[in-house]
Structure 1
Amino acid sequence: MFNRIKQALLLVLTIAITSCEKDFLETTPTDAISATDALSSAENMQLILNGLHRGLFSQSQTIFPGGNTARAGNHYWIPLGDNLAGGVIHSARANNLSWQDETQWISHTDQTALTPEILWYHRYNTIASANAIINKATDGSLVMDENLNAIVGQAYTYRAYSYLSLVQHFAKGYLIGSPSTDPGVPLLFGTEEGFNSAPRSTVEEVYAQMESDINTAIEYFENGTPRPSGGPETKSQLNIDVANGLKARIALSKGDWQTAADAAVAARQDYPIMSEADWKSGFNTTSLPEVIWGSNVIDTETTFFRSYFYLICNTFNGSQNRNNPKLVDRRLYNQIPDTDYRKDVFLADAPNTNTSAANGEGGFGNDPNYTDEALFDAKEAEYRSQYGWTTRHNSHPYMQVKFLQKNPGTIDPDDIIYMRSSEMYLIEAEAKLMMGDIAGAQTALEPLGTARDSAYDVSVYNTAESLMDHIKFQRGVELYGEGFLYTDKIRWDDGIDHAADGGSGASEVLYQAGFRQDPPSVNDAWIFKIPQREIDANPNIGPGDQN
């Protein structure tokens, strides 16, 4: 791996500088750019960060050697969390980008598959670039002013973010395992020629490093220039709020409840809860008021059929969605009160127009919801006109329209949202409940619940069990499709059973192994396999280290 990371670091430096700084090119030929030049000033380090921002959503082959056109960073990794855990339901067969392999629990359990390999290398590439900034900026050779403080804060935040992603996928969950002895992932600090990976650190050691990194990031941000305000592109830059949000996630995942609650409150202060109009606008831009952090996707990046919205959005003009509308779990939908406007983005009465639908109810005559063909056709036309999918798109009962393109029916990519203030209310509520503070958890939930449901009454959830069930419900509805369910289930030690409690609407024939999975505490299939190429190349990790 680490030879590839060394090459990747230089490529990130080159991409960042050649794509962002014309003046630099006027004095430095593109084939002569070195890490020394790129790290020579705060301005050039900011260009490296811009390369990392871009790397979160670019097709991976544009960022480091050995990448693959089938993965475009977080366009893939974010919805994967709901795809693996069964929160976003597939309605028909469609195996583009191995997306259905993920649903069937094939890819992440295969050490030769693209999914674990590219995730591993993407996150370690990000760590190596962050290390380059941290090591140079803190060696005493540069003046540490407010601008450089903000840059170093971003680098430490990126490193913590990457380690959290790695340890949550490639190791057993902190709360369900034995973190002091469970193998985690290698910790990487160097960028110099000839460095090698360390062996796998324990889960506890990785968490200690993340906590140190995120606390250090916050200290640098406190003495740094604030993030610019303005258009959606500013939300791509990391700031103290992003760092506090990550601190809350780290603490929640390890059961450090007080830290999780405090950091969540700090992170959300300047991001008001969205209105109904904003919430129903499509989740396609980071300019939404709740968004703390996200990628402002550049149209010229040409992700198109590799984009988040290709995988999740039912208006995107690609075969993944035309043939396979994505649905909400019916059990979750049935819990949503009619007074909660979030219910409106799940179309329970959409006609089943796909004759190849996995439930065998596609086409008029098979759809049990319609006995009148004219009504069947009229409803399909109504929704197509309202939401903008094309005549080639199929519809299906319980399909979601939470995610809508700015230009529906096209292949235009849209922004990726990573962190919202609503998540922070939910983190605080869960953390307070886990500390036994039912009243505090209710108070934390009330602003969000009241904003979404005109008849909301949090007082009815007055036991630990009922309140925990309600928090799970709120996370399921509020954060649907935003990628949290995989790590939520690991933290809660919940398995997958699409047949339980009346059924999710998923087909066992279609879902195969993904239809039922035992809880992660007794089921190591939740842990991603370490890429075989890493085991083959890294002298410190052998076959016996495989998950």
Structure 2
Amino acid sequence: MLRKKHLLILAITMIVFTGCNDDFLENAPTNAIAAADALSSPENMDLLLNGLHRQMYAQSPLPGTESSRSGQSHFIPSFDAMGGGMIHSSPGNGWMRSDAQWLIHTNASSTTVDNQWYERYHFIGTANAIINKVAEGGSTITPALNNILGQAHAYRAWAYHQLIITFAKGYIIGNPSSDLGVPLVLDSGAPFDSAPRSSVEAVYSQIEKDLDQAITYFQDASSPDNKSNLSINMAYGVKSRVALSKGDWQTASDAAVAAREGFPLLDESDWLSGFNTIDLSEVIWGGHVIDTETNYFQSYFYYICSTFNGSQNRTNPKIINKEVYDNIPATDYRKKAWLPLAPNTNSSASNGQGGSSDSDPNYDNDDDFWDAWSDIISTYGMTTGHNTHPYMSMKFLQKNPGTIDPDDVIYMRSSEMVLNEAEAQAMLNNISDAQDALALLGEARDSAFDKTIYDTQDKLMEEIKFQRQVELWGEGFSFHDHIRWDDALDHTTSGASEVLYGAGFMQDKPSVNDDWIWKIPQSEIDSNEFISEAEQN
């Protein structure tokens, strides 16, 4: 892609292709096979896709990027740190502090901006190679090949959507026909030409075309091997996300219904089990993390999970917005996933209340203070080096707590699709349909949920926003939700520290504040003859 469009070739020549057996697929870096073989058969194309599945989470940096920003494992919590969904309780060891402070995505030379751009274009380049190779002819169309083509088109759509909602003005709040989007690159192979920035509308049109093609291919395809593989449900899920971000409400609703078919909502036991496996019933798409390709101290659970044995979590347990938590009804079992009265044991806590019962307003003596800490440590399997903090999260729990062992990463759940449907119907002002959709989730989580309370569009949207903040906490949606809703960022009542958060403590709404748009990497502008400095965001 563009400056690094050669990434595909470099990635697939890193080691010699050794075979297609099950042992190889489970243990070898499958984004690294001989270039001459990479597109020679459906089996080898499938290996390329396996490389992308692993790239979603693994510490396998592409040329020109850094392992410290590895795939969605990094960007899911990064987007929630910037969007205010996941709050840092202290400076910790520095990881994602600049994200929360709004210093990283506004810096065109930052590693985070660079990796988000070039990793997504790596996915696009790999998808292009597969799609264009089959288009040359000579391949026998089989259910297996349809599966490969469906995944390639779905990956390309997903990657372009990630780029366009991040590096361009939001479709709903902008002028999509004229606003600058990202370069549309659909070719593969030499001479690896660069491209200008296409309009937001043109990029969305390509995304929609790819999703429709993916769904068509999946309809006559073999079944996915597992939830790491892209599927027709995943394609419908992305279609719903795309339509929601565009304001195409009916499509968003219809696609959400199709996406969640066959993926029933979790019960209380499973919801509170830690979100550490893609085997949960409502997981539509996720990464099955294997030991040989995890990224340990750069993994998703390292950033998000209070029990992970890393300095990021021992010193900086992540907390929920306290105003959001306090509004969760006592009859809603999700209230158990955060600990509002956890003692503030970190003397470096950013609210200035950490270290002992003398400073923590929830405790009046050290015995109760440290007994409460001990109970949490023993209950959840943390180490004695872990600090606790009021409103800390226990939504994400390791299978083997207190270790650095890998756990799965979830990218899409059916509960998100229920909320997509509810929002779309609310925006269509179909009050009854929106109430019914909202009740699917509300009644599953809260024994006293009453859908009839939400009898206007405004009331429905207020509740849908609240439900997304609770249900999808830590799953990477808050930054882009703010853009879609044109909501300002205000941490005044969240529990975040203004001293720690700096510029990220308060930001005006996206329609009047271009800092919501990420900077184009400076390296791209410097090397792409079609993008000038004047076209920087």
Contact between 1:282 and 1:402, CA under 8 Å: does it hold in 2?
yes
In the TM superposition, residue 24 of structure 1 has moved relative to its aligned partner by: 10
After superposition, the Cα gap between the structure-2 partners of 1:35 and 1:374, relative to the gap in structure 1 and judged at 3 Å, is same
Pairing partner for 2:500 from 510, 515, 518: 510
How big is each residue's C-alpha offset from its partner over 1:326-345, in whole Å with a ceiling of 9 and x where there is no partner? 10101100110000000011
Q: How many residues of Structure 1 are paired with residues of Structure 2 in the alignment?
A: 531
Per the alignment, residue 58 of structure 2 pairs with: 58
Q: What residue is the counterpart of 1:316 in the other structure?
A: 308
Find out whether 1:188 has 2:185 as its counterpart: yes
1:137 Cα deviation (Å)?
A: 1.4
Q: For residue 372 of structure 1, report the CA deviation from its aligned partner.
A: 2.5
Q: Structure 1 residues 490 and 17, CA, compared in 2 at 3 Å: closer, same or farther?
A: farther
CA deviation after TM superposition for structure 1 residue 69, in Å: 2.5
Question: Per-residue deviation at 1:462?
Answer: 0.8
Match among 336, 339, 343 for residue 331 of structure 2: 339
Tell me the amino acid that sits aligned with residue 173 of structure 1. Answer: G
Q: Is the contact made by 1:16 and 1:50 (CA closer than 8 Å) also made in structure 2?
A: no
Corresponding residue to 1:84 among 82, 87, 90: 82
1:458-473 correspondence to structure 2 within 5 Å: 458-473=451-466
Q: Answer yes or no: is 1:361 the counterpart of 2:353.
A: yes
SS at match of 1:315: coil
Amino acid at match of 1:352: N
Assess, with a 3 A threshold, how the Cα gap between structure 1 residues 426 and 14 changes in structure 2: closer, same or farther.
same
Q: How far apart, in 1, do the equivalents of 2:511 and 2:352 lie?
A: 35
Q: Which aligned pairs between 1:21-420 and structure 2 lie closer than 5 A?
A: 21=21, 34-61=34-61, 64-97=62-95, 99-228=96-225, 234-362=226-354, 363-420=356-413
What per-residue deviation string (whole Å, max 9, x for no partner) do you get for residues 48-73 of structure 1? 10011111112242xx2112121221
Classify the secondary structure of the residue corresponding to 2:319: strand
Structure 2 unpaired stretches of 5+? none
* Residues 162-187 of structure 1 deviation map (CA, whole Å, 9 limit, x = unaligned): 00000011000000111010000000
Query: Secondary structure at 1:292's aligned position in 2?
Result: strand
Give the whole-Å Cα distance in 2 for the aligned partners of 1:302 and 1:150.
26
Percent identity (aligned): 56
C-alpha offsets along residues 386-441 of structure 1, whole Å, 9 cap, x if unaligned? 11111111001100100111111111221110000000000000000100101100
SS of structure 2 residue aligned to 1:37: coil
Cα deviations by residue, 1:62-106 (Å, 9 ceiling, x for unpaired)? xx2112121221110111121101111111112444x10000000
The whole-number CA distance in structure 2 between the counterparts of 1:169 and 1:470 is 25
Q: Secondary structure at the match of 1:70?
A: helix
**Counterpart residue type for residue 101 of structure 2:** Q
Give the structure-1-normalised TM-score.
0.94
Residues 1:24 and 1:388: Cα distance change in structure 2 (over 3 Å):
closer
Change (3 A) 1:385 1:491: same
Deviation for aligned residue 1:294: 0.5
Q: 1:492 aligns with which of 480, 485, 499?
A: 485
Aligned 8 A contact 1:169 1:528 in 2: yes
For 2:222 and 2:279, the matched residues in 1 are separated by: 21
Distance 1:296 1:147 in 2: 21
Quote the residue 1:446 is aligned against: 439
Tell whether the 8 Å contact from 1:95 to 1:101 is kept in structure 2 after alignment.
no
Which amino acid letter does the alignment assign opposite residue 44 of structure 1?
Answer: N
Looking at structure 2, the residues matched to 33 and 84 of structure 1 have their Cα atoms a distance apart, in angstroms, of 36
Q: How much does 1:305 deviate?
A: 0.5
Task: Determine whether 1:538 maps to 2:521.
Answer: no
Change in Cα spacing, 1:404 to 1:463, as seen in structure 2 (3 Å) is same
- C-alpha distance in 2, partners of 1:167/1:286? 27
Instruction: Give the whole-Å Cα distance in 1 for the aligned partners of 2:305 and 2:526.
Output: 38
Comparing 34-43 and 267-276, the one that deviates more? 34-43
Aligned AA (1:410): T
Give SS of 2:396's match: coil
Check conservation: 2:425, 2:434, Cα contact below 8 A: yes
Q: CA deviation at 1:4?
A: 2.4
Query: How far did residue 525 of structure 1 move?
Result: 0.4
Compared CA separation, residues 15 and 162, structure 1 to 2 (3 A): farther
- Whole-angstrom CA distance in 1 between matches of 2:7 and 2:285: 28
1:10 touches 1:34 (CA, 8 Å); kept in 2?
no
Give unpaired runs (5+ residues) of structure 1.
229-233
TM-score normalized by the length of structure 2: 0.96
Change (3 A) 1:394 1:22: closer
CA distance in 2 between counterparts of 1:261 and 1:246 reads 12
**Offset of residue 12 of structure 1:** 3.6
Match of 1:231 in 2: none
Aligned-residue CA RMSD (Å): 1.8
Q: Residues 16 and 34 of structure 2 are in contact (CA less than 8 Å); yes or no, is this contact kept in structure 1?
A: no
